[in-house]
């Protein structure tokens, strides 16, 4: 073993909030698993399924058989570790909570990059956890339904103008429209329609109400969340959905030649181009709950990956807020 080339990482995952004792010393006597990374077409991770007991260190030797990949654990804040061909990266992981964790590659190594995932099963006594189902299931939304807005704004709605308009709303109406539950369960178009039908708001123009919608969307997120989402988007989404959100990323529609079919063999769903988030007809008729649902569950064969195992719930909501920002003129 070449000690000079080897880089050593010790990561202690504090998942589930409790405190783990976090020191694991490397030694050559312990069980080591050599984990090979290859492009998904060439087999992805080998082995792809790992098992370890909670609290026990998992010693990994990571190496790549082709290009540079990386290793990251879903739903954790741990930075990704690079895996280079001809090099051994040593990594020790300790999980304090039993469960199933997803590990994945964060480097775009090809059109199927996002399929580069594996699982770590952490055994042990399960701690009771309130398992809430995602909002789209609670609301009974069909996230695969085709939808199109009936009304769209003439001009890009402005958060800044919306803030001023919103300040003139009667307080009770304002509270309803701005509440987190209301925002998450309604599409921008639905909110606009309800405002338009609201007797208290008849003095406002159509555009002013669209501006108010933009303000509501912005007030349900924070600049920090949007900043984090911007980074996550650039890393995980832009390759398909495009940097500008227009669905024109380099891998948009690439799924067809890769699978050799225009329909997914399992679900029969059509494999389609990545959604254009700049298209108001599409996005303004989608609720945040539906967007988050698609993000968590994935497209089930459409080419839209499943992110539920990778992102934390907070990150998915931040990403959702970020997607709508392609529709609105941000406040300066």
Distance between CA atoms of residues 215 and 157, nearest Å: 9
The yes or no reply on residue 40 touching ligand HEC (CB under 6 A) is no
One residue of 71, 104, 307, 328 binding ligand HEC per CB under 6 A? 307
Q: Which parts of the chain fold into alpha helices (H)?
A: 135-138, 159-167, 171-178, 180-185, 188-196, 206-219, 223-236, 238-241, 255-259, 280-283, 288-297, 313-324
Distance between CA atoms of residues 82 and 88, nearest Å: 10
One residue of 73, 105, 274, 289 binding ligand HEC per CB under 6 A? 274
Minimum CB separation from Cu ion for residue 2, in Å? 23
Distance between CA atoms of residues 31 and 231, nearest Å: 36
The yes or no reply on residue 117 touching ligand HEC (CB under 6 A) is no
Tokens of 209: 């109400």
Residue nearest ligand HEC by beta-carbon distance? 299
The yes or no reply on residue 239 touching ligand HEC (CB under 6 A) is yes
Minimum CB separation from Cu ion for residue 255, in Å? 17
User: Interacting stretch for ligand HEC, rule CB under 6 A, among 27-35, 67-75, 118-126, 239-247?
Assistant: 239-247
Kindly tell me the sign of the dihedral angle through the C-alpha atoms of 20, 26, 28, 34. Answer: positive
Minimum CB separation from ligand HEC for residue 141, in Å? 11
Minimum CB separation from ligand HEC for residue 282, in Å? 6
One residue of 37, 91, 216, 240 binding ligand HEC per CB under 6 A? 240
Distance between CA atoms of residues 45 and 43, nearest Å: 6
Task: Give 89 or 311: the residue with its C-beta nearer to ligand HEC.
Answer: 311
Tokens of 324: 């709508």
Minimum CB separation from Cu ion for residue 58, in Å? 20
Q: What are phi and psi of 32, to 5 degrees?
A: -120, 135
Establish how many alpha carbons lie within 13 A of residue 6's alpha carbon, considering only the half-sphere containing its beta carbon.
14
Task: Give 74 or 98: the residue with its C-beta nearer to ligand HEC.
Answer: 74
Question: Would you tell me which residues interact with ligand HEC (CB under 6 A)?
Answer: 114, 236-237, 239-241, 251, 272-275, 282, 286, 291, 294-295, 299, 302-305, 307, 319, 323
């Amino acid at each position: 073993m070449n000690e000079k080339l080897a880089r050593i990482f010790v990561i202690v995952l504090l998942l589930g909030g409790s405190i783990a004792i976090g020191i694991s010393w490397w030694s050559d006597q312990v069980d080591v698993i050599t984990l090979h990374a290859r492009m998904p077409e060439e087999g992805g991770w080998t082995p792809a399924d790992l098992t370890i007991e909670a609290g026990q260190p998992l010693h990994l030797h990571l190496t790549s058989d082709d290009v540079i990949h990386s290793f990251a654990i879903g739903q954790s804040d741990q930075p990704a570790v690079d895996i280079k061909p001809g090099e051994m990266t040593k990594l020790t992981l300790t999980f304090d909570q039993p469960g199933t964790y997803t590990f994945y590659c964060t480097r775009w190594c090809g059109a199927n990059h996002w399929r580069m995932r594996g699982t770590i099963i952490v055994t042990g006594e399960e701690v009771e956890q309130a398992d809430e189902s995602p909002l789209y299931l609670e609301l009974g939304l069909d996230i695969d339904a085709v939808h199109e807005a009936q009304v769209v704004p003439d001009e890009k709605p402005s958060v800044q103008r919306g803030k001023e308009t919103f300040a003139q709303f009667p307080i009770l109406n304002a509270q309803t429209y701005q509440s987190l539950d209301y925002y998450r369960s309604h599409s921008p178009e639905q909110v606009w329609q309800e405002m338009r039908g609201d007797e208290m708001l008849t003095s406002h123009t159509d555009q002013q109400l669209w501006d108010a919608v933009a303000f509501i969307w912005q007030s349900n997120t924070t600049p920090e969340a949007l900043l984090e989402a911007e980074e996550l988007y650039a890393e995980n989404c832009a390759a398909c959905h495009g940097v500008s959100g227009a669905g024109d990323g380099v891998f948009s529609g690439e799924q067809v030649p890769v699978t050799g079919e225009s329909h997914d063999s399992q679900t029969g769903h059509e494999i389609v181009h990545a959604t254009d988030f700049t298209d108001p007809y599409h996005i303004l008729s989608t609720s945040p709950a539906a967007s988050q649902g698609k993000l968590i569950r994935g497209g089930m064969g459409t080419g839209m990956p499943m992110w539920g195992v990778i992102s934390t719930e907070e990150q998915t909501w931040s990403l959702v807020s970020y997607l709508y920002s392609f529709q609105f003129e941000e406040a300066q």
